[in-house]
Amino acid sequence: MKVIASAPGKLMIFGEHAVVYQRPCLVTAVSSRIEVEIEEINSGFSINAPQVKDVRFIEETIKVFKERYKISSAKGLLIKTKSDFSSLYGFGSSSAVTVATITALSKIYDLNLTKEEIFKLGYQINLNVQKVGSGFDIAAAIFGGIVYFVTGGQVIEPIKTKKIPLVVGYSGVKADTPKIVQELKKKIDNKFFKKRADEIFDEIKNLTQSAKEKLIKADWLSLGLLMNKNQSLLTELGVSTKKLDYMCQAAIKAGAWGAKLSGAGGGDCMIALVSDEKRKLVEEAITQVGGQIINVSAQAEGVRVKIKI
């Protein structure tokens, strides 16, 4: 039997870092996807994943899956992946590949896992390999659309709204998310910063909750202002970079409703919320300060199985 499953990448809209500390975030799945094809073969195990930066996620998924579901089949597996985005952008290729692999295995072994079961397994695999993380990217890859999410999947709430008009700019620098999360943790362990960090996370929590309401109403003007406030707090946490700041400022100057970094910071992408009329101007402004526009759209469909032979 051969199964192909594909899962989307993601972009954080609100709440990064705070979501590692028991606060909520808002994440959207994006139109770039990773496809995982799994075929049962007579024996052996082979992975062909040229665009996946870290095949440990696939290896760990197979291992944990077989242990959890007591798979004792003597047959082997041939695994191939195809991606339509570079792992450089921070779109969550690891979580997408993990979710697609679990979903394909669930079909191969006829387990009919629920989304919640796939989340639990995916989050555990994510932590086994990466040690840190809230699991928001796993939820986005499974559920798709926009998700309101609290640390470890305590809340996973799909949000229905109009198409969110985002421009995405890549800073040209690959961010090392686990490293940035660990460095921030070290900083917070210092008692002088801890109090302020807690206040910042609470402020981000309030912003994220307001953002959820504005998002549902498609009130882009208010949402943009909240993005700018979130960006200031991320700058205060020390996770933004000069390049990301310039890109956000350029976007706002060119008429965006708001702009902020998306994800761990330290590089990767920023997002700007823009009207159709201002889109071109904003894209040009971001490019002029050295950013690269990435053409993806938000609210993509979550994991899906394409073919089963």
Q: How far apart are CA 261 and CA 242, in angstroms?
A: 11
Residue holding tokens 């944990």?
A: 64
Q: How far apart are CA 18 and CA 24, in angstroms?
A: 7
Q: Which stretch binds ligand PMV (CB under 6 A): 38-46, 134-142, 155-163, 282-290?
A: 134-142
The torsion region of residue 146 among left (phi > 0), alpha (psi -120 to 50) and beta comes to beta
Residue 96 touching ligand PMV (CB under 6 A): no
Q: How far apart are CA 36 and CA 188, in angstroms?
A: 38
Instruction: Read off the tokens for 119.
Output: 């989340």
Residue 122 touching ligand PMV (CB under 6 A): no
Q: Has 137 been annotated as catalytic?
A: yes
- Angle at the Cα of 257 (from 256 to 259), degrees rounded to 5? 70
Residue holding tokens 């943790």?
A: 185
Tell me the site size for ligand PMV, rule CB under 6 A: 17
Nearer to ligand PMV, 17 or 229 (CB): 17
Instruction: Read off the tokens for 5.
Output: 């499953």
Scan residues 161-200 and list those touching ligand PMV (CB under 6 A).
175, 177, 181
Q: How far apart are CA 202 and CA 132, in angstroms?
A: 20
Residue 302 touching ligand PMV (CB under 6 A): no
- How many Å separate Cα 182 from the centre of its chain? 18
Residue 264 touching ligand PMV (CB under 6 A): yes
Out of 7, 9, 17, 101, the residue judged to bind ligand PMV by CB under 6 A? 17
Residue 111 Cβ, how far from ligand PMV at the closest point, in Å? 27
Residue 12 touching ligand PMV (CB under 6 A): yes
Residue 67 Cβ, how far from ligand PMV at the closest point, in Å? 24
Nearer to ligand PMV, 202 or 284 (CB): 202
Residue holding tokens 């700019």?
A: 169
Binding site for ligand PMV (CB under 6 A): 12, 16-17, 19-20, 90, 92, 133-134, 136-137, 175, 177, 181, 263-264, 268
Active site amino acids: 137
